[in-house]
Structure 1
């Protein structure tokens, strides 16, 4: 596959419920950045529309750095259940032919845009899973489908909405870092403790003036939900223990404090 011109200068690939909206907010404020839409979802939902469609999101950038942030890319390719969800009216044959063309977001990005700047942000996987669950639950209740709401533990065990899978950061991130060694890897901890320094790191990666100071007052996608019971925290922490060690080693930062209080 040839390297394509006219594509994004940067792509945020994940992770879900970890702070991508915040990064999108600080990028959108920068005068040297063009971020027309946060989640384009090209490689997971709109790939059949073609690269010409995708490149329209980055037209007329001038001297600005143009890009997008789609948290779903980090987990692509998706399982069969996701294919049916996104394309419910397609026959099994149509789905097979389509997905043969799209092996994964990582493969497509690596082959089409080898020089693109990639980044991802990660959060305590216990908090991420709980936030993801309540996002799904509140959405069901808003659209009048409260009967479909399941307990958190059942959702986690069944991997409904990939709540469990998306927290295995070490397993998920490794192939991305192998393909893009210079990929930016950020932590939600830094967003809370040193937001300005994190913003500067993102600006530096994207290639714009890092002296720009964005606004931080606005709350971005902060969901409100019940506190997670201690027994659930301990149970989830045990599921992620080994992968959390791998993730810490992979990124060169100690993240064991995420789980340690609950083990």
Structure 2
């Protein structure tokens, strides 16, 4: 096989992927892409990718470092959710290792909304957003709507199933975002073991892309989200063999 990157942090948005990307940039035997979120596999035509496109993609990576023994990777957390992206990643490299960070879906939706509001991509009230997302997203049909997706991205079970359909278990690593945030080093040890590089004493990273305002989710909105995500969260944990732990659902 020609040159290919070794791993992908493929999900989920607002799940701690920026922090994981930053941590791995500290490791001497890991070489991350020049930028986080290259957005290659989620922006290709569904009919496939040409070899020339791979050449353009590979300009983001230091293949000289790979020749010296480093593992090459990147983080584009929309990939597990974006239709067709993981299939294109499989076509690119069926032996690639994939990391997915999963966060309490209720908190993920709230964090996603707050990010969009800070970036002035969302002007509506959160209560309205979560109650009208399906209707608003239909404006993009038949295309998938990446903007109106605060709820849609939090349904993890089908994303996990698709990963397990495409890749054997030994190529997949699922982590709780909360564990990485609460005590990073044990989770980072799991990541380095998974990637096949030496364990490393990582320096603590600040919380990346975290909100600073003091908003609180309304009780009725939290109740709606808990009801919305409950069954999917239960199924996700069943697929992964996880307990509920700190998740609200």
Q: Is the 8 A contact 1:14 1:73 kept in 2?
A: yes
The match for 1:171 is 158
The size of the alignment, in residue pairs, is 224
User: In the alignment, which of 117, 124, 127 is matched to residue 137 of structure 1?
Assistant: 117
- Matched with 2:27 is 30
Contact 1:9–1:65 under 8 Å retained in 2 = yes
| Cα deviation code 1:68-91 (max 9, x no counterpart) | 1001111122xxxxxxxxxxxxxx
- The Cα shift of 1:153 comes to 2.4
Using structure 2 for the length normalisation, give the TM-score.
Answer: 0.84
2:19–2:205 CA contact under 8 A, matched in 1? no
1:162 and 2:160 are equivalent in the alignment = no
Q: Tell me, yes or no, if the aligned pair for 1:190 and 1:198 is still in contact at 8 Å.
A: yes
* 1:22 aligned counterpart, secondary structure: helix
Q: What's the counterpart of residue 139 of structure 2?
A: none
1:67 is displaced (CA, Å) by 0.9
- For 1:19 and 1:28, how far apart are their aligned partners in 2? 15
User: TM-score, normalised to structure 1's length?
Assistant: 0.80
Residues 37 and 75, structure 2, Cα contact 8 Å, conserved in 1: yes
Residue 41 (structure 1) aligned to one of 27, 39, 44: 39
Contact 1:248 1:256 in 2 (8 A): no
Structure 1 residue aligned with 2:75: 69
Q: Which residue of 1 aligns with 2:220?
A: 231
Give the structure 2 partner of residue 221 of structure 1. 209
Unaligned ranges ≥5, structure 1: 78-103
1:156, distance to aligned residue in structure 2 (A):
1.8
For residue 217 of structure 1, report the CA deviation from its aligned partner: 4.4
Instruction: Give the counterpart of 1:113 among 73, 85, 93.
Output: 93
Partner Cα separation in structure 2 for residue 124 and residue 8 of structure 1: 29
| Secondary structure, counterpart of 1:29 in structure 2 | coil
Aligned to 1:94: none
Work out whether residues 106 and 176 of structure 1, in 8 Å CA contact, stay in contact via their aligned partners in 2: yes
Q: Which residue of 1 aligns with 2:241?
A: 252
CA displacement at 1:222 relative to structure 2: 1.5
The structure with the largest helix share of the pair is 1
C-alpha separation in 1, matches of 2:20 and 2:234: 26
- The alpha carbon displacement at 1:257 in A equals 4.8
Shift of 1:174: 1.0
* 2:8 and 2:98 in contact (8 A); partners too: yes
Kindly report structure 1 stretches of 4+ aligned residues shifted beyond 6 Å. none
Provide the residue aligned with 1:90 in structure 2.
none
Secondary structure of the corresponding residue to residue 13 of structure 2: coil
CA shift for structure 1 position 158: 3.0
